[in-house]
Amino acid sequence: MKTGSHHDSSIEQRLHGLRQRLTPQRLLIVSVLEENDAHITAEAIYERVREQYPYVNLSTIYRTLEWLKKLGLVTETDMGEGSVCYHWAEKGRHHHLVCQKCGRVVDMDESLPCSLKEALLQRYGFDVDLSHLAFFGRCESCQSQSD
Amino acid sequence: MKTGSHHDSSIEQRLHGLRQRLTPQRLLIVSVLEENDAHITAEAIYERVREQYPYVNLSTIYRTLEWLKKLGLVTETDMGEGSVCYHWAEKGRHHHLVCQKCGRVVDMDESLPCSLKEALLQRYGFDVDLSHLAFFGRCESCQSQSD
DNA sequence: TTCGCAGATGCAAATAGTTGCAGATAGCCC
DNA sequence: GGGCTATCTGCAACTATTTGCATCTGCGAA
């Protein structure tokens, strides 16, 4: 299933430029991720891809997500919900604060993690890859309550 | 298998004081963790406990680790090695910087994460539970090298 | 346009961790 | 010391994810 040149997206061109193979499965997985504003699980991507490509295998989804992660095109976050979440990296870098009491998720921008990153580079010479962090704890409403 | 009173450790007394059940399995798991200075996986704890309690089940190990985590007696860290690591919480709080290139692990004390924690409390009103963090990236030696 | 091959995929098995259920038991109360 | 019960445990099944292997295929080179 080779898309016509007039359908080629910029991501296809970029991947082609990086000498990466573009299989039908990969193109579909990438488009599901690009179209998805929220985080998405591997299982949900699998369901979406199967709509157009019924014989795709779940292990291919996982392998492709790993490949995209390695290329820096996707970020992966464990929100503590039992499955890891994925997010198209260009849809904005941010992080999360997950309340362990009520489950509320507060988004956090990059400024504080960037400060930490710079401090770690200074102190330890270590260059942290701040892809997509999730910190667990208690939100404002749940702090006064005990367990 | 009830330990004699002269064998009761302070942790047994504390757990008893918290109205927590002390089963033979739990006592053994706790002692393996207390004796272990480094991080340890669930599987390794299982092997150690089986030496003295052959019929213990791996699901009991996982359940007990979850219970100890909830009590704040153990911390859990994913060092990216395929299994989560556990550490007796009183053996010192620290965090890790894991190099994705060479695998080297740099220990980090609490001061920088504490700064982040305070900043998050100020900015978002969110009280982060800094139990045992692991940040991934590149160490000093591996930064100049490409993938 | 065809060919060859490095790498992708599907399949099934494996791994780390979780869960439902029935039976066992720690420990409190009498 | 014995009884009772809430909770723990072992077992087997399950889930999310990874991996080995054989076959397929994207795509660059001729």
User: Distance between CA B20 and CA A85 in Å, rounded?
Assistant: 35
Per-window interface: B 122-141 vs A, CB < 8 A:
123-129, 135-140
Q: CA–C1' span, B67 to C21, in Å?
A: 20
Contact B71, B18 (CB under 8 A): yes
Q: Is the predicted pLDDT of residue B102 greater than 90, yes or no?
A: no
Query: What ipTM score was computed for the predicted complex, to two decimals?
Result: 0.87
Question: What domains, with CATH codes, occur in chain B?
Answer: 1-88 (1.10.10.10), 93-142 (3.30.1490.190)
User: Distance between CA B130 and CA B113 in Å, rounded?
Assistant: 7
User: Distance between CA B87 and CA B73 in Å, rounded?
Assistant: 9
Closest CA to A131 of B115, B131, B135, B102: B135
SS3 label, residue A120: helix
What is the per-residue pLDDT across A94-127, written as a single tens digit (0 to 9) for each?
899 999 888 899 999 889 999 999 999 999 999 9
Question: Which chain B residue is nearest to residue A115, measuring alpha carbons?
Answer: B116
Question: Which chain A residue is nearest to residue B108, measuring alpha carbons?
Answer: A124
Mark yes or no for CB contact B137/A128 under 8 Å: yes
A-B contacts (CB, under 8 Å): 79
Within 8 A by CB and 6+ apart from B21, the residues are: none
- Residues of A 79-118 whose CB lies less than 7 Å from any atom of strand C: 82
- Whether A75 sits with its Cβ under 7 A from any strand C atom: the answer reads no
Question: Which chain A residue is nearest to residue B113, measuring alpha carbons?
Answer: A116
What is the per-residue pLDDT across A17-71, written as a single tens digit (0 to 9) for each?
888 999 999 999 999 999 998 899 999 999 999 999 999 999 999 999 999 999 9
Q: CA–C1' span, A16 to D6, in Å?
A: 62
Cα-to-chain-centroid distance, residue A35: 13
- Alpha helices by DSSP H, listed for A71-110, are none
Pairing of strands B134-138, B40-41: unpaired
Contact A120, B134 (CB under 8 A): no
Report angle CA B40, B44, B50 to the nearest 5 degrees. 135
At A82, list the tokens. Answer: 């039992």
pLDDT, averaged across chain B = 89
Closest CA to A25 of A59, A73, A51, A60: A60
User: Distance between CA A111 and CA B123 in Å, rounded?
Assistant: 11
Interface test with B, best of A111, A115, A135, A147 (most B CBs within 10 A): A135
Closest CA to A80 of A64, A96, A58: A96
Contact B133, B96 (CB under 8 A): yes
Q: Which residue is nearest to nucleotide C18 (CA to C1')?
A: B59
